Amino acid sequence: MCLGIPAQVVAIVDADAGLALAETAGVRRQINLALLAADDRALSALVGEWVLLHVGFAMARIDQQEAERTLALLAQMEASHEP
């Protein structure tokens, strides 16, 4: 099973390489947007958008409500496993 984590794109790091900076749960990391670049929109149009992130690659755009629901569920799962 694979797990996708919602992340919000906060900046484009290298447009030619398709790299951006994304944030989830207060953590920022570099991600690859190449899989979302096929629709002829400039990568800068993705800044502020929520994406589903898997092993450093943005797999799909998602809306903010879906991102918030997923992050809340992940937080609940984490809390239920704390000693």
Here the CATH number for the domain that contains residue 25 is 2.30.30.140
Better pLDDT: 53 or 37: 53
Residue 11 confidence (pLDDT): 97
pLDDT confidence of residue 39: 62
CA neighbor of 58 nearest in space, from 28, 19, 14: 19
- The total number of residues written for the chain in this structure: 83
What does the alpha-carbon distance between residue 12 and residue 21 come to, in Å, rounded to a whole number?
6
Locate tokens 């797990």: which residue? 3
Give the tens place of pLDDT for each residue, 39-81: 677 888 999 999 999 999 999 999 999 999 999 998 888 888 7
Which domain range does residue 21 map to?
A: 5-80
Q: How many domains does the chain have?
A: 1
